[in-house]
Amino acid sequence: MNNKFLAPLKSALVIALTFLATPAFAVAQEGSAEPGEGLTAVQTVLYFVLAPLGLFLTIVVIGYGVHRPREKRSNSGSALSEIK
């Protein structure tokens, strides 16, 4: 294809994508919206990494506790384990 054709097409694509992404860059807030302070890096890691990981591990431990393997039974003297 000719570069004369591709250049306007690329420009139109960039402009279209910029208009689609414009709400992501919006600074104006809605009527009564008052954003609070941002999270620190430690809070972000705590809320979005450690808390879900802790919840997951808690569920795993509870699930294992409910379905853990029972103690092995002694087979001595059982009719199914010995042929006399």
The residue segments making up the domain with residue 43 are 39-67
| Number of domains forming the structure of the chain | 1
The pLDDT, as a whole number, for residue 73 is 61
Using pLDDT thresholds of 50, 70 and 90, give the confidence band for residue 13: confident
Report if residue 61 sits inside a domain: yes
The pLDDT, as a whole number, for residue 17 is 76
Using pLDDT thresholds of 50, 70 and 90, give the confidence band for residue 42: very high
Q: pTM for this structure?
A: 0.47
Q: Where are the alpha helices (DSSP H) in 1-84?
A: 3-21, 41-45, 51-67
Segment 15-33, tens digit of pLDDT: 877 777 666 656 666 677 7
d(Cα 37, Cα 16) in Å, to the nearest integer? 33
Q: Give which of 12, 37, 75, 57 is closest to 83, Cα–Cα.
A: 75
Report if residue 44 sits inside a domain: yes
Report if residue 1 sits inside a domain: no
Report if residue 6 sits inside a domain: no
Report if residue 79 sits inside a domain: no
Across 54-58, average pLDDT:
97
Report if residue 2 sits inside a domain: no
